[in-house]
A and B are shown apart, each in its own frame.
Chain A
Amino acid sequence: GAVVSQHPSWVICKSGTSVKIECRSLDFQATTMFWYRQFPKQSLMLMATSNEGSKATYEQGVEKDKFLINHASLTLSTLTVTSAHPEDSSFYICSARDLAGRYEQYFGPGTRLTVT
C-alpha cells in the first residue's frame, strides 16, 4: 500500500511554456502533499506544502506565481511550472502524508523537467 504516482515521469518543454505535473495517492487519502525540487547530486529542497482544499504554503524563496500548486482532492495535487525557463530544469518530487496522521511521507517517483 501507500503508493504515490507522478505524471509525467519526464517532460521536455520550450522556454516560455507551462507544464503541469500530477501527483496522485493511489491507495490512500492524503491530507497533505509536499512538493520538492532536487538538483543533481543534492538533497531535496522543499518547495511547498499543500493541504486539500487550502492554498499551498510556499517556502521562502519559492515564487508562488511561478510554481502553481493545486490540491483539489484528497488524492490529487498538481504543480504547474508557468513560463518555464532553462533554470527551472530539475527533478521534481512529490510526497503525501495520509489521513491516519502518521508522520512518514510516501514519495512519488519524480518528474524530470528539461526546459530548452
Chain B
Amino acid sequence: AQSVTQPDIHITVSEGASLELRCNYSYGATPYLFWYVQSPGQGLQLLLKYFSGDTLVQGIKGFEAEFKRSQSSFNLRKPSVHWSDAAEYFCAVAAGGSNYQLIWGAGTKLIIKP
C-alpha cells in the first residue's frame, strides 16, 4: 500500500541555519511528489512538486527538494531559514487512479529559534 513517512514530528532550527525535512514514500510506480506548507490557522500552500525529469526541484520561498528513487525519499531543504518559515510541512504522494488522491505524511512542525 502507498504510504508517506515524515519521521520528524518537529524540528527546531536557528534562524539563518540550514534546514532539511525528511520524507520517505512507498509507492510501486513512478511517484508524483509534493511538499505543502501550512501556517497556523491557514490553508495549505504548495511549495514544490516532482513529476519527472530533473530530480532536484526548486520551489517557492527558497525551498528545494531532491527526489532519490534508490532511497524512496523526497527531502525538503532550505539553505537559510527565516522566522517566517515556522509552520507545519506536509509531504504527499499522488496515489494514481482516476482522481489522483493524495497520500499524506503526518507532517513536521518547524520551530525557528531566534
Residue numbers of A with Cβ under 8 A of B are 4, 6, 32, 34, 41-44, 46, 49, 51, 57, 93, 95, 97, 103-110, 112
Contacts and interface: CB of A to CB of B under 8 A. Distances in A.
Chain A interface main SS type: strand
B43 interface: yes
B67 interface: no
Nearest to B106: A43
Interface of B: 32, 34, 36, 41-46, 49, 51, 90, 94, 99-102, 104-107, 109
Nearest to A38: B38
A107 B44 contact: yes
Contacts of B102: 34, 46, 105
Given A49-B99, A109-B42, 20 more contacts: A4-B43, A34-B99, A34-B101, A41-B109, A43-B104, A43-B106, A46-B102, A51-B99, A93-B44, A103-B32, A103-B49, A104-B34, A104-B49, A106-B46, A107-B44, A107-B45, A108-B43, A110-B41, A110-B42, A110-B43
Nearest to B90: A43
Contacts of B106: 42-43
